[in-house]
Amino acid sequence: MVHVGIGYDVHQLVAGRKLILGGVEIPHPKGLDGHSDADALMHAITDAILGALGEEDIGHFFPNTDPRWKGVASSVFLEEAARQVLPRNGRIVNVDATIIAQQPKLYPHIAAMKKNIADALGLREAQIGIKATTNEHMGFIGREEGIAAMAVASVDLP
């Protein structure tokens, strides 16, 4: 039976941080603020996979109060989500995600993001969908104060 999970994450843009999305460092004057590398895309996908499993969210597995996760690459979180599938004799069928950012333009980086996510999950790039959109200059995303990501994952479980 295929189970579906949804994930969402948002982080504020701040000066003095690298902008990391999908494990790719993207040239931009600001980066996402957070305890880890603040990769909102990988965080949303992690939550989607955990949700498909009926598990707690990313904060349960990797609390931002734990110094072990300070500055860590979010691929660690994706790898753990994939590991949670194995003891259930399941398999991740696919992941689809959308990044919402007014700036910078993300299309040139999507292929590298797909590769990084597929590698972390042990999937083929064809099993990963990533899109980017703006917020049409509305709200905090439109004012370039933050970036959000949403994801859905399907996991086949016996």
Number of domains in the chain: 1
What confidence score (pLDDT) does residue 64 get?
87
Share of the chain above pLDDT 70, in %: 100
pLDDT at 143: 98
The enclosing domain of 19 has a CATH number of 3.30.1330.50
Cα 76 to its chain centre, rounded Å, is 11
pLDDT digits (tens, 9 = 90+) for 55-105: 999 999 999 899 889 989 999 999 999 999 999 999 999 999 999 999 999
* Domain span including residue 150: 2-156
